[in-house]
Structure 1
Amino acid sequence: MTASPNEDAVQGPARVGRRTKDLIPTLRPGDVAVIDHADLDRVAAEGLVLAGPAAVVNAAPSISGRYPNVGPLLITAAGIPLLDGVGAEVMAAVRDGERVSIHEDRFESPTWSGRGTRQSIATLEQLIEESRAAIGDELERFATNTLEYLRTEHRHL
Structure 2
Amino acid sequence: MDNNVASQGYGPVYFHNRTKQLVRWIPEGAYALIEHKDIDEMAALALIDKNVKGVLNYAPSMSGDYPSLGTIRLIEHGVPVYDIDDPQRVKQVLRQGHTIHIDGRQLWLKEPQGPSFLSSLTRYTDRDILLKLKLAQANLKDRLQKFVENTLTYALQELPEILQPVPIPKLKLNMRDRHVVVVTRGSGYMEDLMAIKDYIAEVQPVLIGVDGGADAILECGLKPHLIFGDMDSISHTALCSGAEIVVHAYKTGQAPGLNVVHRLGISAHIFPCFGTSEDAAHLLADEAGARLIVSVGSHTHMLDFLEKGRQGMASTLLVRMKLGGKLVDAKGIHHLCLRKPHSRISSPLSVSDACLEHHTH
What's the TM-score bracket when you normalise by the shorter of the two chains?
0.7 to 0.9
User: CA separation of 1:69/1:146 partners in 2, compared to 1, >3 Å: closer, same or farther?
Assistant: closer
Say whether 1:81 aligns with 2:80.
Answer: yes
> One-letter code of the match for 1:41?
D
Say whether 1:129 aligns with 2:128.
Answer: no
Aligned pair count?
146
Tell me how far 1:7 sits from its aligned partner.
Answer: 4.6
Between stretches 71-80 and 130-139, larger displacement belongs to: 130-139
Mapping 1:31-50, distance limit 5 Å: 31-50=30-49
Is the partner of 2:60 in helix, strand or coil?
Answer: coil
Say whether 1:113 aligns with 2:118.
Answer: yes
The answer to whether the Cα contact below 8 Å between 1:12 and 1:101 also exists between their aligned partners in 2 is yes
User: CA separation of 1:143/1:17 partners in 2, compared to 1, >3 Å: closer, same or farther?
Assistant: same
**What is the root-mean-square deviation of aligned Cα atoms in Å?**
2.6
User: CA separation of 1:102/1:125 partners in 2, compared to 1, >3 Å: closer, same or farther?
Assistant: same
User: CA separation of 1:127/1:106 partners in 2, compared to 1, >3 Å: closer, same or farther?
Assistant: same
Q: Deviations over 1:16-70 (max 9, x none)?
A: 1111000012122220100000011001011011111111101100111211111
The answer to whether the Cα contact below 8 Å between 1:70 and 1:128 also exists between their aligned partners in 2 is no
User: Mind listing any 5+ residue stretches in structure 1 that lack a counterpart?
Assistant: 1-5, 151-156
TM-score (norm 1): 0.79
Using CA pairs under 8 Å that are at least 6 residues apart, name the structure with larger relative contact order, 1 or 2. 1
Name the CA distance, whole Å, in 1 between partners of 2:148 and 2:38.
Answer: 21
Name the CA distance, whole Å, in 2 between partners of 1:76 and 1:146.
Answer: 33
Mapping 1:65-104, distance limit 5 Å: 65-89=64-88, 90-104=90-104
The answer to whether the Cα contact below 8 Å between 2:106 and 2:117 also exists between their aligned partners in 1 is no
Between stretches 13-22 and 114-123, larger displacement belongs to: 114-123
Name the CA distance, whole Å, in 2 between partners of 1:96 and 1:146.
Answer: 40
2:62 aligns to what?
A: 63
User: Mind listing any 5+ residue stretches in structure 2 that lack a counterpart?
Assistant: 155-159, 161-361
